[in-house]
């Protein structure tokens, strides 16, 4: 008790001295400089003195040196009090007391510089001896946090995960499931869900004390992980020499443990040297549950955690922001705008809610206004940004990382056509024109939870025909913001990817400058329904890909397009409800290297009236476009306007009744795809002039009654797709003259019931036919002659994924 009292006295003496010095600085001009120096020293030593006082009370050390210091401080307090009473004119007393104050300062400094370290060293040695003695009598198991594999407690407030927990538990407990991956983007609550699962009564009853929780993270060490598991079970181990030894010993340990066992590997990163499969052992009642931002497609069982719904998101946000229902001054519409920005990500809801907690209504409205006018939520919260950025850290393939950033070129809450991405990436990254490489990259982004690839119609034959025109990509708004944020880290003049989002007519400040130079290779400009098509003058000479997104009924291509001397790909998309008239199309004639054009939901003016010559154009894609006027009133031949066109895609063009005859003069055309054009009722006989045509796709042209006999002249045709052409009743009489035909897709041709013409037996290069069961029977006689022919009966997965978002 006496030793503890020493600690209390030290703190009291120090506080008294510090207060006297502080008061003296404010009142005594005569000793101001010395007292300030002493105050500074005492201020520096204050935390140390408090710690010494506390430790003396807790440990009970008897310190003679500390008692001496206490006496010194008491004398010092009295000395400072006397100094404050000396008059300014008493120079003798000033000199005498100044020396005493300096001596006090030196004594205190000497104690902490020399005496205290010596005493501390002695105490440390004494403590080590005691610890070693205690350690010899203890088991080696030390259940501190750094060696424990116990499941951490879930947060006190959790919402929206109960249903997910039940579904995850049901999947985990299935007999055939030995390894399960819980996947979602960062900040969705994967770890929280696992913590809740482990506290579930049924799970605890099954696995009891045999639930092991290990955080793997970015740079895992397998031997350290196994060592933790051993220590958690109280088993003495020495350092493992190799990973193989560690895994072998772990298997032996688990085999010795009775009952069911659950190993949780939290935050597993893909692409590292850590292989979760190494922890998979063939033993009964043993399961592994992993959490990761990657879906790990090589594992059979995956549970994808979705963001919170609107109701749960509101509950979590109100809790985080301490908003009471009905008693808050914050407007509901401001709250709903914040919820939209957070997009159901629990981390975003919690972080943004806490940042706005207790703030005035004016502060709320100010932030909501900034976010509504295009300012990224990631710019205002570093923690959220850091969490999402980790998702990019394991994208070791630079092309895939660029593909992710390119998704930011398209507006939020909108579908991104896979066909548009194929056009871009074939030019930018030298991926194949058929789209296989591009789709492979999209699958990779999907498995990393950075995007979602949606296959519109899951025909089992689509993988055979490389048909992606109806497929699309969805991306969460926060992930799009991440892509935009990453692309905006460089100055305008240096950035490779420039994304401009214009609300109303509020152009960016930098754009208002005259002849603003742009160094970007990819330029995206999005405008809303209030934009008046008033463009400023910029210098976009380096742009290779231009993406224009708009919502107005009339839209003109920007005048600066004619300065895009390196432009190769143009993508123009109308996200409005009605078709839009497209103006300034003639500007494209000034672009010398333009190879691909994709237009969506626009009414195309005549391409051959002014006339316009696009000599470098190789591919044009028209999706949901009005093209009735595009090839009418021509003053020049279509083949002269588009002399090097090799591919035409028309999809959902509802005003296309008959294929324009002028298109049949483009003899270099290799691919002609007319799909979902339900009013198409005739193909011209002139189609036989397309002597270089290799692919003819007429999928889902439901009113097309027949194929013209002139198709017999397409001697280079290798793929013919007439699937879902409901009105076709027969094949052309001379179809057998298509000697290079290798693939024929005809599933869904319900009126095609009669036997095929005799010339069908001459299709000696035909390798694959896809059809339904009824049409497959018609091919049975042909297969006797065409021994290399494979007839594949395909099924359909009817869904509504192909419908535009606004149709729901």
Angle at alpha carbon of residue 562, lines to 556 and 566, rounded to 5°: 125
Which of 22-31, 45-54, 122-131, 728-737 is the least confident region?
Answer: 122-131
Instruction: Find the mean pLDDT for residues 644-673.
Output: 93
Is pLDDT at 647 greater than 60 in this prediction? yes
Name the token pair of 697.
């796709």
pLDDT for 145 equals 39
Q: Is the omega angle on the peptide bond into residue 611 within 30 degrees of 0, that is, cis?
A: yes
Considering the chain, what percentage of its residues have pLDDT values greater than 70? 82
Name the token pair of 351.
């972080």
pLDDT for 329 equals 66
pLDDT for 585 equals 87
Instruction: Find the mean pLDDT for residues 500-509.
Output: 82
Cβ distance 576 to 623 under 8 Å? no
Is pLDDT at 807 greater than 90 in this prediction? no
Instruction: Find the mean pLDDT for residues 117-138.
Output: 50
pLDDT for 58 equals 52
pLDDT for 679 equals 93
Per-residue pLDDT reduced to its tens digit, 430-469: 888 888 899 999 988 888 888 889 887 655 454 455 678 8
Domain coordinates in residue numbering, the chain: 2-136, 162-304, 310-384, 395-478, 664-808
Burial of 532 (0-12, 13-18, 19+ CB in 10 A): exposed
Per-residue pLDDT reduced to its tens digit, 724-752: 999 999 999 999 999 999 999 999 999 99
**String of b and e for 125-164 (b: at least 16 CB within 10 Å)?**
eeeeeeeeeeeeeeeeeeeeeeeebebeebeeebbbbeeb
Per-residue pLDDT reduced to its tens digit, 215-245: 887 677 777 888 888 877 776 665 778 888 8
Per-residue pLDDT reduced to its tens digit, 477-495: 888 888 888 888 888 778 8
**String of b and e for 704-738 (b: at least 16 CB within 10 Å)?**
bebbeebbbbbeebbbbbbbbbbebebbbeebbbb
Is pLDDT at 798 greater than 70 in this prediction? no
Considering the chain, what percentage of its residues have pLDDT values greater than 90? 30
Name the token pair of 773.
């069961």
Residues 94/95/100/103 CA torsion (nearest 10 deg): 140
pLDDT for 132 equals 52
pLDDT for 693 equals 96
Would you state the CATH architecture of domain 310-384? Orthogonal Bundle (1.10)
Rounded to 10°, the helix 477-487/332-342 angle is 70
Which residues are CB-contacts of 73 (< 8 A; sequence separation ≥ 6)?
A: 13, 14, 16, 17, 108
Instruction: Find the mean pLDDT for residues 748-763.
Output: 91
Per-residue pLDDT reduced to its tens digit, 275-302: 788 888 888 889 999 988 888 888 889 9
**pLDDT higher at 716 or 338:** 716
Q: How far apart are CA 67 and CA 426, in angstroms?
A: 81
* Ramachandran category for residue 756: left, alpha or beta (phi over 0 → left; psi -120 to 50 → alpha): beta
pLDDT for 4 equals 45
User: Which 8-state DSSP code applies to residue 111?
Assistant: I
Rounded to 10°, the helix 190-198/162-172 angle is 70
Its pTM stands at: 0.71
Q: How far apart are CA 609 and CA 389, in angstroms?
A: 51
H/E segment holding residue 523: strand 522-527
Name the token pair of 272.
């590292």
**pLDDT higher at 514 or 85:** 85
Cβ distance 279 to 247 under 8 Å? yes
pLDDT for 420 equals 95
Instruction: Find the mean pLDDT for residues 109-128.
Output: 58
Is pLDDT at 610 greater than 70 in this prediction? no
Q: How confident is the model at residue 380 (pLDDT cuts 50, 70, 90)?
A: low
Q: How far apart are CA 650 and CA 637, in angstroms?
A: 20
| CATH placement of domain 162-304 | 3.40.50.300
The position carrying tokens 């006090």 is 104
pLDDT for 294 equals 83
pLDDT for 565 equals 92
Class of domain 664-808: alpha beta
């Amino acid at each position: 008790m006496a030793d503890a009292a020493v600690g209390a006295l030290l703190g009291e003496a120090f506080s008294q001295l510090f207060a006297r010095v502080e008061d003296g600085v404010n009142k005594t001009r005569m000793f101001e400089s010395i007292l300030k120096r002493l105050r500074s020293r005492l201020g520096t030593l204050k935390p140390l003195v408090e710690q010494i006082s506390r430790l003396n009370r807790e440990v009970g050390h008897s310190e003679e040196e500390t008692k001496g210091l206490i006496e010194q401080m008491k004398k010092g307090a009295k000395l400072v009090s006397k100094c404050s009473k000396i008059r300014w004119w008493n120079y003798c007393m000033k000199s005498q007391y100044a020396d005493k104050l300096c001596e006090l300062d030196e004594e205190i400094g000497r104690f902490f510089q020399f005496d205290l370290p010596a005493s501390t060293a002695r105490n440390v040695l004494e403590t080590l001896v005691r610890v070693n003695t205690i350690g010899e009598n203890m088991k080696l198991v030390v259940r501190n946090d750094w060696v424990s594999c116990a499941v951490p407690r879930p947060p006190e407030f959790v919402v929206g995960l109960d249903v997910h927990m039940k579904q995850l538990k049901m999947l985990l407990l299935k007999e055939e499931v030995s390894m399960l991956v819980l996947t979602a983007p960062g900040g969705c609550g994967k770890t929280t869900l696992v913590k809740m699962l482990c506290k579930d009564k049924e799970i605890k009853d099954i696995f009891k004390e045999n639930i092991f929780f290990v955080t793997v993270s970015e740079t895992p060490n397998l031997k350290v992980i196994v060592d933790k598991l051993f220590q958690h079970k109280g088993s003495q181990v020495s350092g493992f020499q190799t990973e193989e030894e560690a895994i072998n010993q772990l298997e032996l340990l688990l085999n010795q443990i009775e009952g069911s066992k659950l190993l949780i590997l939290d935050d597993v990163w893909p692409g590292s040297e850590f292989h979760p499969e190494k922890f998979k052992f063939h033993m009964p009642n043993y399961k592994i549950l992993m959490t990761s931002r990657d879906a790990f497609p090589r594992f059979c069982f995956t549970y994808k955690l979705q963001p919170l719904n609107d109701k749960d998101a509101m509950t979590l946000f109100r809790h985080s922001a301490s908003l009471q229902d009905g008693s808050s001054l914050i407007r509901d519409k401001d709250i709903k705008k914040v919820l939209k920005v957070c997009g159901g990500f629990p981390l975003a809801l919690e972080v943004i809610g806490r940042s706005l907690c207790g703030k005035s209504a004016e502060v709320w409205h100010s932030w909501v206004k900034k976010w509504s006018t295009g300012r990224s939520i990631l710019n205002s919260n570093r923690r959220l940004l850091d969490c999402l950025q980790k998702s990019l850290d394991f994208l070791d393939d630079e092309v895939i990382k660029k593909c992710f950033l390119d998704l930011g070129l398209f507006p939020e809450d909108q579908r991104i056509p896979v066909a548009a991405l194929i056009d871009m990436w074939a030019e930018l990254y030298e991926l194949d024109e058929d789209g296989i490489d591009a789709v492979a990259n999209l699958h990779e982004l999907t498995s990393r939870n950075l995007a979602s690839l949606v296959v519109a119609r899951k025909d089992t034959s689509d993988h055979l025909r490389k048909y992606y025109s109806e497929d699309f990509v969805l991306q969460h708004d926060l992930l799009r913001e991440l892509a935009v944020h990453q692309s905006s880290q460089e100055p305008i003049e240096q950035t490779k990817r420039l994304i401009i989002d214009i609300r109303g007519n509020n152009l960016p400040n930098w754009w208002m400058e005259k002849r603003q130079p742009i160094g970007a290779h990819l330029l995206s400009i999005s405008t809303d329904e209030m934009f008046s098509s008033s463009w400023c003058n910029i210098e976009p000479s380096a742009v290779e890909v231009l993406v224009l997104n708009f919502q107005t009924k009339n839209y003109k291509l920007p005048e600066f397009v004619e300065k895009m001397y390196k432009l190769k790909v143009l993508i123009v998309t109308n996200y409005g409800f009605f078709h839009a008239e497209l103006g300034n199309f003639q500007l494209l004639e000034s672009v010398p290297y333009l190879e691909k054009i994709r237009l969506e939901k626009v009414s195309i003016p005549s391409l051959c009236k002014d006339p316009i010559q696009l000599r470098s154009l190789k591919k044009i894609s028209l999706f949901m476009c009005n093209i009735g006027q595009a090839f009418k009133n021509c003053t020049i031949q279509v083949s002269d306007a588009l002399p090097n066109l090799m591919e035409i895609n028309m999809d959902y063009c509802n005003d296309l009744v008959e294929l324009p005859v002028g298109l049949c003069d483009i003899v270099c055309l290799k691919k002609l795809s007319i799909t979902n054009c339900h009013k198409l009722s005739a193909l011209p006989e002139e189609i036989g002039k397309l002597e270089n045509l290799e692919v003819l796709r007429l999928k889902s042209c439901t009113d097309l009654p027949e194929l013209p006999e002139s198709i017999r002249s397409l001697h280079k045709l290798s793929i013919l797709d007439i699937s879902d052409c409901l009105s076709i009743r027969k094949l052309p009489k001379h179809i057998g003259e298509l000697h290079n035909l290798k693939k024929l897709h005809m599933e869904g041709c319900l009126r095609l019931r009669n036997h095929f013409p005799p010339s069908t037996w001459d299709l000696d290069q035909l390798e694959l036919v896809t059809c339904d069961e009824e049409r497959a029977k018609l091919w049975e006689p042909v297969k006797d002659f065409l021994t290399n022919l494979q007839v594949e009966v395909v099924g359909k997965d009817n869904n509504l994924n192909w419908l535009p978002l606004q149709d729901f």
